[in-house]
Amino acid sequence: MLNIYIYILIASCFMCFIRAWLGKTIPDRMVAIDILGTLAVGFAAVWALITKQDIYMDIALAWIFLSFLGTLALAKYLSHQSLDE
């Protein structure tokens, strides 16, 4: 059961990669990367359940904040502002 979930999540990640590859504009690629970050949280959580090791859960928690910070930095870069505001 859980293995099927993992395969679906991997397929979703590939869809994000395709969007990041096709892109067209730079913000399109950034959106794909942002959503990939949120997907990775779910992936780490399911993986923690499969391997029964709750250290992956810590990774998921940390990843929420890190992907948030990364997205904010990318968005700042997009709007041509300096990073100290």
Partner 1 sequence: MSIILLSLFLWVFWILAAGNSDLLTLIVGGVAAIFIGILWGKRLYVNSHKAFDIRRWFWALIFLFIFIWEIIKANFDVAYRVLHPKRPLSPGILYVKSQLKSTWGRVFLANAITLTPGTLTIDIQEDLLYIHCIRIKPNELSVLRNKIVARFDRYLIKIFD
Partner 2 sequence: MAWNEWVGLAFIGVGVLFDALGCLGLLRFPDIYNRLQAGTKCVTFGTCGILLGILFHQGITTFGIKALLGIPFLLLTSPVGAHALARGAYKAGIPLWDKSVMDEYTQSESSRAE
Contacts to partner 2 by CB under 8 A: 1-2, 5, 8-9, 11-13, 15-16, 18-19, 25-28, 30-32, 34-35, 38-39, 41-42, 45-46, 48-49, 54, 57-58, 60-61, 64-65, 67-68, 71-72, 74-81
Does residue 28 belong to the site contacting partner 1 (CB under 8 A)?
A: no
Counting residues that bind partner 1 (by CB under 8 A) gives: 3
| Euclidean distance between CA atoms 57 and 3, whole angstroms | 18
Residue 72 vs residues 43, 47, 64, 66: alpha-carbon distances, Å: 22, 27, 13, 10
